[in-house]
Structure 1
Amino acid sequence: RDILKHELAHYLNFLEHGQVQAHGQEFRETCKRYGFPDEIALASMNLDTANLSKEGDIDSERILEKVKKLFQLAASSNVHEAELATVKANALLLRHNLDRAHLKNDEAPIYLDRVLVQKRKDAKISAVYDMLKHFIVKTVISHGKNSCCLEVSGSITNVKLAVYVGNFLDKELEHLWVTAKHAHGLQGLRAKNSFFLGIAKGFDQKMKQAKANLSVTDRRALIVVEKDLTDRTKMIYSRLSSSRTNNNFDSHAGEIGIQSGKNLSIRPGVEGSSKKLYLEYSKS
C-alpha cells in the first residue's frame, strides 16, 4: 500500500505541477495535502526492490522476449518477411491474453505507466494513442500543469510491451516524416500533423485486417478480453472526455501517412527508459 501511495503521490504531483524535481517541495506538499504518511513523502522505500515480487512474472517475461525476437525479424528488408513477423508478434500477444482470459483471475492487478511526456498535446501523441490500443491496453492522454503524457494501463505484459512500442513510435514517426517530406515534397506543420494521423489510420486498418483473419472463436474471445480491460480500467478512469478535430487536415499528406502506417513494422532497439514502479490496482 505504501508503494501504491508513493506512486499515486507522484501521479497527483505530475497533474498539479507537471515535470518538477522528483521528491522536491511540490511532492512533499502533495503528500501532506492528501494526508499520506511521512515515510511516503521522504521516499524512504526502495521502489525497485519492493517491486521485484510484482514484476517477476516469468510467463510474462517469456512472452515479451518472444515478441521482441519477432520484432527483430520485422526489421528485415524483405517486405513479406517483415509483415509476417509483425502479424506473428501480434498473434502471440493475442494468444497470451486469450489464455489468461480463460483463467478468469479477477484479482490480477492492473498496471499503469507513462510514455511521451511532453509540454503539450500534438498530432504525434494522438497518433501513438490510437496505435497502442491494438496492444490490448487502455490509453489515455493525461494533462498536467504545462505538460501532458500518454498513459497506458492493463496487464503487466501488455503495459511493458506498450511502453516499448510507444518509445519506438516516438522516434519512428519522426523518421518516417523526414523520409516522406523529401520523397513527396511535403512541408509545414499542417502536413506533418496530417501525416502522423494518417499513419495511425493506416496502422489501424492493418491491425483490423489481422484480427479479421482470426478464427470466430478467437474473435469472440478477444471481444471478451477487451471488454474486461474496459471494465477494470474504469476503476482508474471513472470520468473521461475526449475531443478531436480534423478541420485543418491535409488529405494529400494524410494519404501518404496511411500507406506508411500500413507498411509500418515495429523494430527492436528502443527500450523504454522508465524504471519506475507501475501503478498497481487490484480488487480488494
Structure 2
Amino acid sequence: MTANFRQPSLTADRPAAGRFSALQSSFDRQVLRGLSAEWENALWLLPESLRGSIKRPLFAIRDMPARLGCWSRNKREITLSRELASGHRWDDVKEVLLHEMAHQVAHEGLQATSEPDHGDGFRKACRLLRANPAASGTYRPLHERLRRQEELNDRDRIVARIHKLMALAESNNPNEAQAAMLKAHELISRHNVDLITKGLDQDYHSIFLGSPRLRHFREAYHLAHLLQDFYFVQGVWIQAWVLEKGRMGRVLEISGTRKNVRIADYIHAAICRYIEDAWAEYRRDRGLNRYRKTDFAVGIIEGFKATLKQASPIDIPGVGTHLPARIEDRALARYLTDRYPHVRSFSKRGPGHDARVLADGAESGRRLVIAKGITRRDGFKNKCLDYRNHADEENPSAKSGR
C-alpha cells in the first residue's frame, strides 16, 4: 500500500528528514480519514437500536511493535499500528479496524464492561460487524496468513498435483504448456466438486483483489465473472477507501476456501499483468486510446475463457460432463449471505467497442498460458502456488454489497 503525495511547496526546501516527516504525516492523515470512513460504513451493519449508542471515536496511528491495534475505552480511541497501516493491504487494515470497533461496540453499545476483553459481548459485536475475533495482538494479517506455506493433509494432496502441473505449464512447447494448464484446471474443478458434493466442512475467507478505485473499467467486471465461473470463488463489489484519492471507492472482494482465494488471487494478478504487457506491445504505433485498451483486455479475458472451456471432459453424476464444472457451494452461499445480507445486482452500458481490437485481444487471450513460473520472472513471488509436500463500462451483471 503506497501513496504519492506531491507537495513541492511544503517539502522542496526541507532537509531529507523533514521531507520524510512531512510525507509520513500526510500519509497518516489519509489513513486516518480512511479509518473514519470505514468505521462510518461499518456502523450501518448494526441494528438501529444499537447504532444510536455508538459515537465516533478518535483514531490514531502509532508505533506498536507488539500489537496490530487497540481500543482505549478511557480515551475513546482506536489505534492501529503504523507498520500495519503502511506495510499491508487495505483489507488487512480494515480487518483489524473492525476488530477494535467490536471492542467499542461491546463496551458502549452492549455495556459489556465487566466481561473479559474477548467475552460474550465482544463476540456478539464481532458477529454484527462481520469482524474477526482473532485479529489482534500477534495475529498475522489476512494476506500473510493466506500466503504462508503449510503442510498438506490428506484432503490437500490434490493441491500438490495442481502445483506440479502449473510448473509444467512453463514448458517452451506451447501445446505441452497449454495441456498442462488445462489439466491443472480440470483437477481444480474435480477437487472442489468432490468437496462440495460430499458436504465436507470448509473454512471460508474474503480478500480484496486489486486496489480500491473510484472507477473500474469494463474488463474488471469480465475478469470477476471469469474467476467466479472457473475458480470456485464468489465476488462482491464493496465500498472501500481509496487511499491515494482520499475518497470511498469500490473494490472486488472474493470469498472462498483458503486455497481457492489464493488461486484466484494468483490468476487475477497473472491476467492483469498479461493484459498490461500484451497491450503495450499491441498499441505500439497504433495511437489507440484507453477505451480501446478495454476492448483488447475484454478480448483477452474472453479468449482465455474459451481456452478453459477446452478442459478434458469427464463424467460427474448430477453435474455434467465437462470441467471446469459449475456447481453451487451452498455453504459458501450461506457465508456470503451472513456477510452481506443485502446484495443487489447492477448492470451498466458503456460506449461502443471496436470489434477488430476485441477480436485481436481474444486471439491473444487464447495464447495465454498461466504457469507458476510467471511469478518468478516478473516479481510476483508472493503469488506463487507453493505448498510443501512432505510426502513426496458495458459490463456483465455484477454484485454490490454494503
Common topology (TM > 0.5): yes
> Which residue number corresponds to residue 172 of structure 2?
77
Within a 5 Å distance, the mapping from 1:7-156 to structure 2 comes to: 13=38, 16=41, 24=79, 27=97, 31=101, 35-36=105-106, 44-48=136-140, 58-59=153-154, 62-105=157-200, 107-120=201-214, 121-133=216-228, 134-145=230-241, 146=247, 147-156=249-258
Q: Which has the higher contact order (CA 8 A, sep 6+)?
A: 1
SS state of the match for residue 211, structure 2?
Answer: strand
Give the conservation status (yes or no) of the 8 Å contact 1:110–1:233: no
Q: Which amino acid aligns with 2:292?
A: A
Q: Could you tell me which amino acid in structure 2 is paired with residue 126 of structure 1?
A: Y
- Structure 1 letter corresponding to 2:347: S
Residues 1:206 and 2:295 aligned together: no
Partners of 2:99 and 2:136 within 8 A in 1? no
Q: For residues 30 and 216 of structure 1, do their structure 2 counterparts lie closer, same or farther at Cα, with a shift above 3 Å needed?
A: closer
Q: Which residue is equivalent to 2:317?
A: 217
Q: Give the match for residue 281 of structure 1.
A: none
**CA positional deviation for 1:15:** 8.5
Q: CA deviation at 1:225?
A: 4.1
1:28–1:237 distance in 2 versus 1, CA, 3 Å: closer
Alpha-carbon distance between aligned partners in 1 of 2:151 and 2:38, rounded to the nearest angstrom: 28
Higher helix share: 1
Q: CA deviation at 1:110?
A: 2.0
Determine the structure 2 residue equivalent to 1:278: none
The structure whose Rg is larger is 2
Q: Report how far residue 131 of structure 1 moved.
A: 2.4
SS at match of 2:345: coil
Distance 1:241 1:56, change over 3 A: farther
Q: CA 1:28/1:257 → structure 2, altered by over 3 Å: closer, same or farther?
A: closer
Aligned to 2:292: 191
For 2:40 and 2:320, locate their aligned partners in 1 and report how far apart those are by CA, in whole Å. Answer: 37
What RMSD, in angstroms, separates the aligned Cα atoms of the two structures?
Answer: 3.9
Contact 2:183 2:311 in 1 (8 A): no
Match of 1:166 among 268, 272, 281: 268
Q: Verify the 8 A CA contact 1:164 1:271 in the aligned structure 2.
A: no
In structure 2, the CA distance between the partners of 1:73 and 1:122, relative to structure 1 (3 Å rule), is same
Specify every segment of 5 or more residues in structure 1 that has no aligned partner in the other structure, as ranges.
1-9, 274-284
Instruction: For 1:161 and 1:252, locate their aligned partners in 2 and report how far apart those are by CA, in whole Å.
Output: 32
Q: Secondary structure at the match of 1:215?
A: strand
- 1:231 to partner: Cα distance: 5.4
Give CA-to-partner distance per residue, 1:126-170, whole Å, 9 cap, x none: 243122121111022323243332211112221121112222223
CA contact (8 A) 1:74 1:83 kept: yes
1:83-113 Cα distance to aligned partner (Å, 9 max, x none): 10111110111121122124213x4222211
- 1 or 2, which has the higher strand percentage? 2
* CA apart distance, 1:114: 1.5
> Does residue 236 of structure 1 match 2:236?
no
1:83 alignment partner, SS class: helix
- Distance (Å, rounded) in 2 between the aligned partners of 1:29 and 1:73: 42
CA–CA distance in 2 between the matches of 1:252 and 1:29?
50
Aligned partners of 1:235 and 1:29: how far apart in 2? 17
| Alpha-carbon separation, structure 1, partners of 2:39 and 2:237 | 13
> Distance between the aligned counterparts of 1:56 and 1:84, measured in 2?
28
Aligned in 2, Cα 1:160/1:256: closer, same or farther, shift over 3 Å?
A: same
Unaligned runs of 5+ in 2: 1-34, 43-59, 62-67, 70-78, 81-93, 108-116, 119-131, 242-246, 384-402
Deviation (angstroms), 1:14: 8.1
For 1:58 and 1:28, how far apart are their aligned partners in 2? 32
Q: What's the TM-score, normalizing by structure 2? A: 0.54
Number of residues paired by the alignment?
Answer: 257
Equivalent position of 2:3 in the other structure: none
Q: Partners in 1 of 2:287 and 2:238 — Cα distance?
A: 30
